[in-house]
Structure 1
């Protein structure tokens, strides 16, 4: 029960890494708000987790929607101890000049602007209470880029840099900010990263991971739980690789 009595917002919490984090956090005693564009799926995940979980439809790239998410968290949870910026998207593998402008804008709106918007609407609440933890779910792509995913790589590198800047600025106010950098995992985005989901393509990706497997939602959730718990009270500005050694 390392998160007993804590409250958390998890964006993109209806599937993949977000759903894994929600399950882990509830198991460890936290109350969670699952914020996702797919409200029916978010409500199903919340129902499966029981009374400690709630759901709200959120478009993380829209300021009014993120503001409503923060208000829903205060109304339903009473306060916001933890914010998980997990919602993310990618473009299909392609030559950098052939990625459409619409896909570029969507990737940066979901992966980068969302961090700005949650800071705009949640950080003032954390400042007022004098405490808080923010965890950004970035990617090994932001540390060791893969070819043909250039703008996705760049968006996740942006997240890692933003994490460190946020950590330095917010540390004197009692707010910690860290990131996790997962390797490709069994999530809805996996097929988009690979371009096609075939045994051959999976083997090609796994061959780049020394531990020999994809990451799982549980792997990321375990790291998130530690970084958001009081056990990590001296840790801020860290971008932890959860990658089976891919970035070595």
Structure 2
């Protein structure tokens, strides 16, 4: 009996086997070259195929190497390589995990994807991950912006056009990831929108759009990219991967005249906790980062439809005569006196990836504006 596999299922198994062999992430890219090693494996289930692939890997195989792998009717020829400076994340059982200096390299050599990565927080996350040695997929509906960013970054950056609220689009994104790198290690679900307005007057369409992009999309991204992480885990049972939702302080406390946004973000925390309980079986950690207001980003400062403008129009800030009044009002609410910066979020993201013993958490990064309470 032979299990039927697709290339989408096969390549993460091969990548997992290579990761398990060296405890280091690898990249699998399509190759036209003659293979240096050929692996064939059949079995009654996916775990059996994964074990056969792992057993067939030559112990002296050095990377980069051209590999042909076949199983269950699926076949692929790929160039397997490690990114320069690839680093592993120390397990909590290893002595070096106790040294904070390890945090700087936790994403080096890993494959990451950032939704909404072409602008705002997403762009800052992309730039930081890339500068830290990761291969980064910039996934955005704004494909022109994503392409410009990846062209600026150069190698190890790939644009993907995606509508995160459309399942076919998200499925195609997952397939493109596997076809490009063979798998993934870090998913950052960052895409989001805000449509402020009173519950007494807001259009249903605006409420539904916030729900689709901020809540439903996180489900779709986790569903389809989580399948890759699960498949890798079959062949690399000790390798830990991460899904991180960029949530908001509005996922922790209500937001006046911004119920659509806050409600979708509260729901996101529920998904984080629920997904964490399920995916821990595949060594996938699922956590959220809840930033304060990114006042310098387009979500707030866009001159036509940014939150400064929306809040001024909706009267959310009593007495405000212009957007500068709105900005000063929100800065005054933060004990540390400023909005959140991209670097603040990245420190939290690196911590989450490095932390081997935490899942299902919502980490506030708010300058003290929102504090944890029991």
TM-score scaled by structure 1? 0.95
Q: Which residue of 2 aligns with 1:125?
A: 228
Residues 84-95 of structure 1 mapped to structure 2, 5 A cutoff = 84-92=188-196, 94-95=197-198
Q: Which residue of 1 aligns with 2:210?
A: 107
Between the aligned partners of 1:124 and 1:57, the Cα distance in structure 2 is 20
Between the aligned partners of 1:72 and 1:208, the Cα distance in structure 2 is 43
Tell me whether 1:188 sits opposite 2:302 in the alignment: no
Q: Which residue of 1 aligns with 2:271?
A: 162
**Structure with the higher fraction of residues in helix conformation:** 1
Q: Which runs of 5+ in 2 are unaligned?
A: 1-104, 234-239, 313-321
Is 2:222–2:243's contact at 8 Å kept on the other side of the alignment? no
Aligned residues: 245
Between the aligned partners of 1:99 and 1:152, the Cα distance in structure 2 is 12
Which of the numbers 184, 199, 205 marks the counterpart of 1:96?
199
Q: Which residue of 2 aligns with 1:141?
A: 250
Is 2:219–2:271's contact at 8 Å kept on the other side of the alignment? no
Give, in angstroms, the shift of residue 233 of structure 1: 1.2
Moved more, 23-32 or 33-42: 23-32
Larger radius of gyration: 2
Tell me whether 1:178 sits opposite 2:287 in the alignment: yes
Q: Which residue of 1 aligns with 2:4?
A: none
Give, in angstroms, the shift of residue 51 of structure 1: 0.4
Tell me whether 1:153 sits opposite 2:298 in the alignment: no
Q: Which residue of 2 aligns with 1:233?
A: 356
Q: Which residue of 2 aligns with 1:82?
A: 186
Q: Which residue of 1 aligns with 2:327?
A: 202
Greater relative contact order (CA < 8 Å, ≥ 6 in sequence) = 1
Moved more, 180-189 or 218-227: 218-227
Tell me whether 1:215 sits opposite 2:340 in the alignment: yes
Give, in angstroms, the shift of residue 38 of structure 1: 0.4
Between the aligned partners of 1:150 and 1:96, the Cα distance in structure 2 is 7
Residues 8-47 of structure 1 mapped to structure 2, 5 A cutoff = 8-47=112-151
Is 1:25–1:225's contact at 8 Å kept on the other side of the alignment? no
- Paired residue secondary structure (2:179): helix
Give, in angstroms, the shift of residue 225 of structure 1: 2.4
- Paired residue secondary structure (2:360): coil
